[in-house]
Amino acid sequence: MRLGLLLPWALPLVFAGLIFRWFFEYNTGVVNNWLVALGVEPLQWLSSPTLAFWAISIAIIWKASSFMALMLLAGLQTIPKSLYEAAEVDGATKWQQFVEITLPMLRPAIFVALIFRTIMAIQTFDIPFAMTGGGPGDSTETLAMYIHKTTLDFLDFGYGSALAGLMFVLSMVATSGYLRYTRRSSGRGADE
């Protein structure tokens, strides 16, 4: 089971992007073949700004979900079974056990996973680049793709460096926000 969860995470990002580009291809794509089988007209997934955004989002979610699931599984395995047994003896329902035991004990793993995922989302380059190259137009261009275009295509190293610095600051702000919230939440739990 864990090996199956790790398969999407183990694939190189560009390879995953190319696979999903083929899935959403207009003439030979698997998704349009399914739509035609259901009696729906095939869609121009990678030529429409809105549909391209959704196609890229699906690919990124598929790629990232295995890492998130593995992080949460590791967090679940650290919760002692004795807490659930004690709650059951006290008459807690499964929902109460989930809300009062599982979620609070899983919070650190959730925040670590969110930190990693946020940083990876800010720095996303490979999958959108492989699927659409930032197009149609620049509707699916990410900050990392814009930095690449500015620095390497237009040879504006100063502006590209400033944008890379901005990406670093965004990553740090997001991470510090998560950490501040985690610290505040754990401090509140200790006060209670």
| pLDDT digits 0-9 by tens, 118-161 | 999 999 999 999 999 998 999 999 999 999 999 999 999 999 99
Angle CA 103–108–110, to nearest 5: 70
Among the listed residues 44, 43, 46, the one whose alpha carbon sits nearest the alpha carbon of residue 35: 43
Residue with tokens 């620095």: 151
Which segment of 1-15, 43-57, 105-119, 137-151 scores lowest on mean pLDDT? 1-15
Among the listed residues 116, 104, 96, 117, the one whose alpha carbon sits nearest the alpha carbon of residue 76: 104
pTM, full prediction:
0.84
Question: Can you give the pLDDT at residue 190?
Answer: 46
Distance CA 41, CA 32 (A): 8
Per the omega criterion (within 30 degrees of 0), is the bond before 136 cis? yes
Amino acid identity, residue 122? I
Q: For the chain, first and last CA: distance in Å?
A: 39
Burial environment of residue 140 by CB neighbours within 10 A (0 to 12, 13 to 18, 19 or more):
buried
Residue with tokens 């864990």: 2
> Which numeric CATH code is attached to 2-191?
1.10.3720.10
Is residue 185 pLDDT above 80, yes or no? Answer: no
Residue with tokens 């650290």: 78
Helix (H, G, I), strand (E, B) or coil at 29: coil
Question: Can you give the pLDDT at residue 29?
Answer: 93
Tokens of 22: 């083929």
Is residue 21 pLDDT above 90, yes or no? Answer: yes
